[in-house]
Structure formats: structure tokens, C-alpha cells
């Protein structure tokens, strides 16, 4: 709610939307269709209006009925919007520059943390590799989603004002069409870097891939909400940056002992749950960690005892205050996904709805 109030301090719907609304008709289906077609002429091909005519003047969709409230059925709207959004999102999410960025970062992670030995001295390095993967594939979809929706606002507003499709069809089509694009790069990133770093075996590997992908969806959900709630691009990016820094600091890697009056805030960070889920996978049923070469340099009390050369992975989790089971860290990620996606829909539905008349 604070984000919405902050964004609405300025006119969230810019002047071009008001002008677009003035050219929309107030009644007849044919006039609405013509005005929408004219409005779409100057936009990219992937943003062409869903409701379009074939070259011979016939309607493209068999279920078109101009006398109904919605010219086509929900399924037709959803399918056509899904393909349209997929084409547009593919060029944005899988652009050559972003693919190159992912390849270079994957190579960098693999080289910097290559085949870490399972010793106490490299514990923080191991955790660093995990945390970097989590934050990168949490924030990349977040910022992409923040920037994508303001760019689509004019087209969406015009088409909704023209009554071409239901909001639910558009919103679900956007979420489902972008899902495989969002998940592809983090999955490949983990598949390569996991084995290069030398993390914990085959079983936890599949769990780590799942955690990183769900983490990416959670990040995208937050970004989608911010992009919808704050239609001003610069204001949305500013708010997203502030939230990103707060989430990162509370993720569990940089801060282990928060003041008691701030400790509860970490539970509002989706990175907290993703990072701790990955930590549980890395240090459950894993090989023991060799104690530091110098007993005085060890942080584990077990290593100070005579004839003790290693510490169990479970003791490592206890030392870093990872006390819950995997599913207790993993399941809250779905709460972030559902809450922020539903909030984005409600903002579009009730706050930024097109004006009538």
C-alpha cells in the first residue's frame, strides 16, 4: 500500500493515456474497433491490437460476436494474448546482450569459486557462491518486470478502453507466456556453475535448480507488482532499488545478528528463504567439513577438541543459524509469488482501470 501511495503522488497515468482515452468511442463496436486499429499503427508489430481484421476484411476469429460485451471468448483472448506477449517478451528477456551477460557471469562464478575444497577456510566462499546465484537470479527478473510493464501501459490502456479483452485474460497470458523465458537462463546457469563450484552431489543439485527457479519467479512477481503500481518508470526503478538493497542486506549472508527490533524484517525478504533453502540442500547429508589448519583459527568448538579433524555439515547449519527444515524455508516463496501477483491484478483491476464515458 505504501508503494501505491508513493507512486500516486504524481499522475500515474501520463498525458498520452488521457489523450488516448479522448479518442475512444463511447458506444458503437465498429467505431471502437477503428480507433483501436488507428492507435496501434505506430507501435511495434508485437503490440498490434488483439482484435484485427484479415486482409479480405473478414474477422480473424470464429467466435467473434460484436453484440456481446466481449467480442471473443476468454480462451481466444488468452491464447492470442499469450502468443503476442511471448513474441514481445522473447526479444526482451532473451536478447543477445542479456544472454551474453549470463554466459560471462556463469563463467566468472565458475572460475572464481572453481572446485572449492570442503574445508573450514572456504565455507564463506561456498556460501558466497550460493548467495550470489540467489541474488542475481532474484533481481534480474525483478528489474526486468519493473521495466517491462510501463512500456506496455499505453497499448494496454487503449485496448482495455476499447473493450477488446478481459483483464484476467491479459494478466494470465502475460504471466504464463513469460514463465519459460524467465526460467531458462537461471536453470542453465545453475546446471553449469553447480558442478564447477563443487557443491553437494546429485540429489541436492536438482533441489538447487528448483530453488533458483522459484526464486526467480518470486523476484519477477515483486517486480511485476512494482511496475504495475508505479507507472512512472523512474519512480518505479528508484523504489525497486531501495527494496532490492533492503532485501539483499536481510538475505542472511551479510547480516547474521540483527538488532532485536529489526530481526523480524528478515522474514519479509524472499532472498532469506531462497538462500536458506539452498544452504539446507548444501549441508544436509553432505560430507564433513575439515577443520581449519590452525586450531586457534577455527570457529567451531568441536575443532578445539583433541583428535577432532572435521565438523559435520549439520553443525555448520547450526553455526549459521539455519535451524528449519528445507520445506519450511522453501514454501514461503510461493506466498510471495501468489500475494504479489494477486496484488498486481487488483491494482490494475480497481485502481488503474480505464475511465468510461
pLDDT at 58 over 70: no
Residue 311: beta bridge partners? 289
Residue 54, classed as helix, strand or coil, is coil
More confident residue, 25 or 317: 317
* Per-residue pLDDT tens digits for 139-182: 999 999 998 887 787 788 888 888 888 999 999 999 999 999 99
Average pLDDT (282-301) is: 89
Sorted by sequence, the CB contacts under 8 Å of residue 308 that are 6+ apart come out as: 291, 302
pLDDT at 302 over 50: yes
Average pLDDT (196-220) is: 96
Give the least confident one: 33-37, 161-165, 323-327: 33-37
pLDDT at 292 over 70: yes
pLDDT bucket at 209, cuts 50 / 70 / 90: very high
Average pLDDT (237-247) is: 90
Average pLDDT (185-191) is: 97
pLDDT at 257 over 70: yes
Contact 321, 256 (CB under 8 A): yes
Contact 352, 7 (CB under 8 A): no
Mean pLDDT of the chain: 82
pLDDT of residue 231: 73
| Per-residue b or e along 303-335, where b marks 16 or more CB atoms closer than 10 Å to that residue's CB | beeeeeebbebebbbebbebeeebeebbebbee
pLDDT of residue 63: 52
pLDDT of residue 17: 44
> How many Cβ atoms from other residues are within 10 Å of residue 86's Cβ?
18
Helix H or strand E encompassing 310: strand 310-311
Contact 3, 226 (CB under 8 A): yes
Contact 220, 182 (CB under 8 A): yes
pLDDT of residue 339: 98
pLDDT bucket at 67, cuts 50 / 70 / 90: low
pLDDT at 222 over 90: yes
**Percent with pLDDT over 70 in the chain:** 79
Amino acid at each position: 500500500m505504501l508503494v501505491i501511495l508513493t507512486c500516486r503522488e504524481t499522475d500515474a497515468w501520463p498525458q498520452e493515456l488521457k489523450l488516448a482515452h479522448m479518442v475512444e468511442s463511447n458506444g458503437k463496436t465498429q467505431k471502437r474497433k477503428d480507433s483501436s486499429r488507428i492507435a496501434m499503427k505506430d507501435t511495434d508489430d508485437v503490440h498490434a491490437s488483439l482484435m484485427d481484421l484479415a486482409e479480405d476484411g473478414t474477422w480473424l476469429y470464429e467466435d467473434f460476436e460484436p453484440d456481446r460485451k466481449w467480442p471473443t471468448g476468454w480462451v481466444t483472448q488468452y491464447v492470442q494474448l499469450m502468443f503476442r506477449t511471448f513474441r514481445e517478451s522473447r526479444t526482451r528477456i532473451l536478447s543477445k546482450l542479456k544472454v551474453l551477460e549470463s554466459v560471462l557471469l556463469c563463467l566468472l562464478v565458475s572460475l572464481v569459486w572453481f572446485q572449492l575444497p570442503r574445508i573450514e577456510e572456504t565455507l564463506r566462499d561456498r556460501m558466497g557462491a550460493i548467495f550470489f546465484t540467489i541474488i542475481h537470479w532474484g533481481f534480474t527478473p525483478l528489474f526486468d518486470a519493473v521495466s517491462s510493464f510501463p512500456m506496455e501501459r499505453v497499448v494496454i490502456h487503449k485496448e482495455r478502453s476499447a473493450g477488446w479483452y478481459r483483464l484476467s485474460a491479459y494478466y494470465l497470458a502475460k504471466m504464463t507466456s513469460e514463465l519459460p523465458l524467465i526460467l531458462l537462463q537461471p536453470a542453465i546457469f545453475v546446471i553449469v556453475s553447480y558442478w564447477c563450484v563443487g557443491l553437494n552431489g546429485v540429489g541436492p543439485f536438482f533441489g538447487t535448480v528448483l530453488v533458483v527457479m522459484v526464486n526467480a519467479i518470486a523476484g519477477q512477481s515483486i517486480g511485476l507488482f512494482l511496475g504495475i503500481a508505479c507507472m512512472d518508470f523512474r519512480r518505479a526503478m528508484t523504489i525497486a532499488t531501495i527494496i532490492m538493497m533492503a532485501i539483499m542486506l536481510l538475505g542472511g549472508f551479510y547480516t547474521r545478528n540483527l538488532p532485536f527490533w529489526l530481526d523480524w524484517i528478515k522474514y519479509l525478504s524472499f532472498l532469506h528463504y531462497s538462500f536458506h533453502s539452498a544452504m539446507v540442500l548444501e549441508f544436509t547429508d553432505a560430507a564433513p567439513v575439515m577443520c581449519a589448519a590452525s586450531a586457534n583459527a577455527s570457529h567451531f568448538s568441536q575443532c578445539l577438541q583433541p583428535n577432532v579433524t572435521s565438523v559435520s555439515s549439520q553443525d555448520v547449519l547450526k553455526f549459521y543459524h539455519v535451524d528449519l527444515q528445507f520445506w519450511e524455508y522453501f514454501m514461503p516463496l510461493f506466498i510471495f509469488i501468489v500475494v504479489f501477483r494477486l496484488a498486481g491484478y487488483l491494482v490494475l483491476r480497481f485502481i488503474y482501470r480505464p475511465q468510461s464515458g
